[in-house]
Structure 1
Amino acid sequence: MDESQRGIEGPLLQGIVLVNVAEMLPPRCAMQLSHWSRSARLAVASAGQHLDLGSGCVSGKKTCITWRERLLEMEMQSQLLTKLLSGGSLTKNECKRVCTAAARHLRREENIVALTAPVVVVGSLRGELQDLLTIFRISGPVPETSYLFLGDYTVSGPDPCGTLVLLLLLKARFPSRVTLLRGRHEQRQMTQEGA
């Protein structure tokens, strides 16, 4: 693909590029779903559980989101990213949805995370949203570039909320390409349930 087809202006793939990237991946990989096999289905069935892939339920209890729900969630997250990057702000409900989606991915991560090189390592952002956007312009857009953020996201800068919401939104949308660590200013209580 030549530069004229890329359509990249910000930290997101846009237009035809997103379609081309998605076409290269199997749907499960594009949606970041774990692989489901016949043996996995038989293991669930042998445990006496009723599995309904269409609703994400095991024995009538909702245990995961379906691929359709994940696809809708990814579309909504892309719209929110576009809104943020064009200078807009998110509503309270949109922020809650972003936090919920990011928390779902963060809870699954171990305390020690193995990353595959190359990775761009970003130190303290301290609420500097414009610095974050500059880093994306220089180092490459997510998801083309993987990032490791070392914490101290909201200490004192001019836009601590915008910085944190953008990082959480990127984590929710591209969980395997964005790694968020807790810095010295993020206290353990901030990461506890309900904090």
Structure 2
Amino acid sequence: MAEGDLNVDSVIFRLLEDRECRPQMTVPLTETEILGLCIKSREIFMSQPILLELEAPLKVCGDKHGQYTDLIRLLKRGGFLPETNYLFLGDYVDRGQQSLETICLLLAYKVKYPENIFLLR
């Protein structure tokens, strides 16, 4: 993937397009887009300090476990980025049927708004 090929706005739009998020819904992201999200977000994570010193206001969110509908519900209630800042504590994927959509939305937001969303292991 060449630098600048990732259209993160398009990725976020498609991930949020159906905000009612039926549990069986899958978002059509290409392998290239997913790889691009991984590469770009890694660059951002590596450029930020290991010890985060964050300021309020900040919403702190616990485990998502691949529950995409819970993530969307949280964003609806808490506010979408960049108006609201978030700290996610980990456990983004595993049990839920939409783990890929969950992590892709979080990584896309990290690429788009690196100073408004923070993801811990």
- The one-letter code sitting in structure 2 at the alignment partner of 1:176 is E
Where does the alignment leave 5 or more consecutive residues of structure 1 unmatched? Answer: 1-64, 183-195
Match for residue 115 of structure 1? 54
Where does the alignment leave 5 or more consecutive residues of structure 2 unmatched? Answer: 19-26
Q: Secondary structure at the match of 2:87?
A: strand
How many residues align structurally?
Answer: 111
1:57-101 C-alpha deviation (Å, 9 max, x unpaired): xxxxxxxx7xxx5xx85xx21111001112532110010111111
Match for residue 106 of structure 2? 167
Match for residue 49 of structure 1? none
- What is the alpha-carbon root mean square deviation over aligned residues? 1.5
Match for residue 131 of structure 1? 70
Q: Which has the higher helix share?
A: 1
Match for residue 180 of structure 1? 119
Q: TM-score, normalised by structure 2?
A: 0.86
> How much does 1:129 deviate?
0.5
1:107-161 C-alpha deviation (Å, 9 max, x unpaired): 1122210111000000000000000000000000100000000000002112111
Q: Percent identity?
A: 32
Q: Which has the higher contact order (CA 8 A, sep 6+)?
A: 2
Match for residue 92 of structure 2? 153
1:17-67 C-alpha deviation (Å, 9 max, x unpaired): xxxxxxxxxxxxxxxxxxxxxxxxxxxxxxxxxxxxxxxxxxxxxxxx7xx
Distance 1:163 1:144 in 2: 20
- The one-letter code sitting in structure 2 at the alignment partner of 1:82 is F
Q: TM-score, normalised by structure 1?
A: 0.54
Deviating runs (4+, > 4 A) in structure 1?
none
Q: Which has the larger radius of gyration?
A: 1
